Structure 1
Amino acid sequence: MAIDSTTSGHHWNTKPYRIVNLARTLRLCFVESRPFVQFMFALRFVAASALAAPPFASIPSTAWIDYAVALAAWFLTTVCVYLMNGIADGENDRINGVGRPISRGALDPRDAATVVQLTAVVALLLGLHIGISMAALVLAFLTLGYLYSMPPTQLSRSWFGSSAIVTLGGLCTYLAGGVAIRAQLTPDPVVFAVAMSLWMGLVGAVVKDFSDVAGDRAAQRRVLTLLVGEMPLRKSVAAATCGVATGLAVGASHLPSLQCACIPMLFGAAIVVGYTLTTRYRDPRPVSRRPYRAFMITQMAANVGALISGVPV
């Protein structure tokens, strides 16, 4: 009896520990998935909804529950994909001094892999609750994430594969925002989605590597930062930045709903160009990271502008 009592007591006492340990693992998994990136994906999703079906006030109250489920499905989808990427890039992140949980040894990759599987399943189930279109987009984004990060493809190791996956992932996100609101396809969200996805694929997918040259070289990745001379690449990125911003400006001249997004895009593009041409790979990480931070803030401002366009005043 004493043995049974001790065993039972020990089992009882471990329950709070397991709960705390689970909560810690989930928190670290979320940190590994890059909270600001998750915020940006949610913002893209909502901005697409705002442009596709303005004003939000016209949406029936009963539809908001399904919309929240769709947003939750997309949130879990993007968390899954970026956590998967964190598992694949653990060693690179350690070399580059990124400091995320897996690279610093705070999160076991096996625990992260379990969370990847669970979030993928739940995201697909929530997507099916909304409809086949949403489930198909969830599956497409998960597939893109797997192709980007995991062997044998690991498209993140090539500049073309990386840019293509990032661009397609952006398009999937904006399309999912439209599907969630059950809106008709109109030029406004299409032009915005294409412009912002190209912003991600032609600008963001390149400038994010400016601070990761050491890790990319160690991993033998065929990214542009290692294939092209530094200044030619930086000048090309500056040209692409100006091209995408100009394209959105042309669209906004014909579609007034895009003007709120166009203004911050033009200002932000100028800052991205300035940082791109004045920083160098060898700079300390906080400095070499400036073009990417400017890229992220610019796209945040542009998406907020698009969201404002769909809010009744």
Structure 2
Amino acid sequence: MATAATPQAYPARAATETMSAYRRLRMCFLEARPTVQLMFVLRFLAASAIAAEYGIGQREFSIRSYACALLSWLFATVCIYLANGIADGANDRINGVGRPISRGELAPAQALPIAVGAAVGAVVLGALAGPIPALLVCAFLTLGYAYSAPPFQLRRGWLGSTSVVVAGGLLTYAAGVVAVGARPTPTLVAFAVAMSLWMGCVGAVTKDFSDVDGDRIARPRTLIALLAEWPLRRLVAALATLIALGILVAAQQIPGLVPICACLLPGAAAVGYLTLTTRHHHPRRLSRRPYHAFMATQLAANAAMGLSGV
């Protein structure tokens, strides 16, 4: 049934047994979704910039420690998303996702050592940055493990997956603040909460609109599998609008939130329109448009807020 409904599905085929170390690393990085890596780095940098605007609070700033903290977070996100690609390989193949594992160009056995190495690198770099960065990155890696790996596999249920996405966003912003030794401010807290809700309530669902067939088989407790598509699309459009309006109300009391308002308001309108005018059976380049609008909005919001703090 799933294969008939998904003509874009990639056939299962064995990955090449031998490949150069460079090609394996490149394939693993592609599997870990470079755009998502960029997004996590931007969140980290935005939090650091906003926090630093209000002065260093807890300790003297060190470029070396900051670089270690940032690289630690990058290594951790590569590990988490590579592990997710390994866990979701069969589902991605059904949905025609097109990353190396689903295409059969990279075997899970080839990717797993890279994921483990990235995790070790993240912990070591976090420890070099300081005890709090190390604790934060360990918590982030634990969330990533619980999301994809047995026995937890929180990605299979809507509550678990949404909770992990929101918590991962909050941890990333917290790590950016800690890295510059600053204290959180009302502007930063409101920004971090709004963007984390944007990730969990909008991004975590819109990314699945193009993967309905595979998710109903492999992830039976997600919203896309439990609810009819049209009501869920209306719910996502409403949530996007509510988050944008909520940050607009907050900006009346916190002027520093004006840059995020300028991004979230048109972004929510775009997400809502594209969510309500596409369907999962459309070609993938069309069915992914709500997620692309979500991603562009958060890229713009984090960049705008980060630049406002420089």
Per the normalisation by structure 2, the TM-score is 0.90
> Partner of 1:219 in structure 2?
218
> Partner of 2:183 in structure 1?
184
Partners of 1:67 and 1:250 lie apart in 2 by 34
Deviation at residue 163 of structure 1 after TM alignment? 0.6
Aligned runs of 1:65-104 on 2, under 5 Å? 65-104=64-103
> Partner of 1:11 in structure 2?
none
| Amino acid corresponding to residue 217 of structure 2 in structure 1 | A
Q: 1:105 to 1:293 in 2, by over 3 A?
A: same
Deviation at residue 272 of structure 1 after TM alignment? 0.2
Deviation at residue 128 of structure 1 after TM alignment? 0.9
Pairing 1:157–2:146 present: no
Q: 1:56 to 1:293 in 2, by over 3 A?
A: farther
Partners of 2:80 and 2:256 lie apart in 1 by 31
**Contact 1:83–1:116 (CA under 8 A) maintained in structure 2:** yes
Partners of 2:207 and 2:145 lie apart in 1 by 19
Partners of 1:136 and 1:221 lie apart in 2 by 33
Aligned runs of 1:246-257 on 2, under 5 Å? 246-257=245-256
Partners of 2:52 and 2:251 lie apart in 1 by 17
Stretches (4+) displaced over 4 A: none
Partners of 1:138 and 1:270 lie apart in 2 by 34
Aligned runs of 1:51-66 on 2, under 5 Å? 51-54=50-53, 63-66=62-65
> Partner of 1:236 in structure 2?
235
Deviation at residue 188 of structure 1 after TM alignment? 1.1
> Partner of 2:205 in structure 1?
206
Partners of 1:49 and 1:257 lie apart in 2 by 15
**Contact 2:147–2:153 (CA under 8 A) maintained in structure 1:** yes
166-175 or 224-233, larger mean C-alpha shift: 224-233
Report the 3-state secondary structure (helix = DSSP H, G, I; strand = E; otherwise coil) of the residue aligned with 2:246.
Answer: helix
> Partner of 1:263 in structure 2?
262
Aligned runs of 1:280-295 on 2, under 5 Å? 280-295=279-294
Partners of 1:52 and 1:254 lie apart in 2 by 18
| Amino acid corresponding to residue 221 of structure 1 in structure 2 | P
CA deviation string 1:140-195 (max 9, x = no partner): 11111111111111111111111111000000100000011110121111110000
> Partner of 2:35 in structure 1?
36
CA deviation string 1:241-278 (max 9, x = no partner): 01111111122222222211210111111000001111
**Contact 1:147–1:154 (CA under 8 A) maintained in structure 2:** yes
Report the 3-state secondary structure (helix = DSSP H, G, I; strand = E; otherwise coil) of the residue aligned with 2:67.
Answer: helix
Deviation at residue 54 of structure 1 after TM alignment? 1.3
Partners of 1:250 and 1:52 lie apart in 2 by 22
Q: 1:241 to 1:228 in 2, by over 3 A?
A: same
Deviation at residue 218 of structure 1 after TM alignment? 2.4
CA deviation string 1:19-64 (max 9, x = no partner): x81111111110000000000000000001111111799xx99722
Partners of 2:197 and 2:217 lie apart in 1 by 28
Deviation at residue 226 of structure 1 after TM alignment? 1.6
> Partner of 1:140 in structure 2?
139
Q: 1:55 to 1:235 in 2, by over 3 A?
A: same
Q: Which runs of 5+ in 1 are unaligned?
A: 1-17
Partners of 2:219 and 2:31 lie apart in 1 by 23
| Amino acid corresponding to residue 183 of structure 1 in structure 2 | A
**Contact 1:258–1:309 (CA under 8 A) maintained in structure 2:** no
**Contact 1:81–1:142 (CA under 8 A) maintained in structure 2:** yes
Q: 1:219 to 1:95 in 2, by over 3 A?
A: same
Instruction: Work out the percentage of aligned pairs sharing the same amino acid.
Output: 56
Q: 1:49 to 1:229 in 2, by over 3 A?
A: same
Larger Rg: 1
Report the 3-state secondary structure (helix = DSSP H, G, I; strand = E; otherwise coil) of the residue aligned with 2:102.
Answer: coil
**Contact 1:50–1:56 (CA under 8 A) maintained in structure 2:** no
> Partner of 2:166 in structure 1?
167
Partners of 1:218 and 1:232 lie apart in 2 by 20
**Contact 1:41–1:173 (CA under 8 A) maintained in structure 2:** yes
Calculate the aligned-residue CA RMSD, in Å.
1.9
| Amino acid corresponding to residue 52 of structure 1 in structure 2 | A
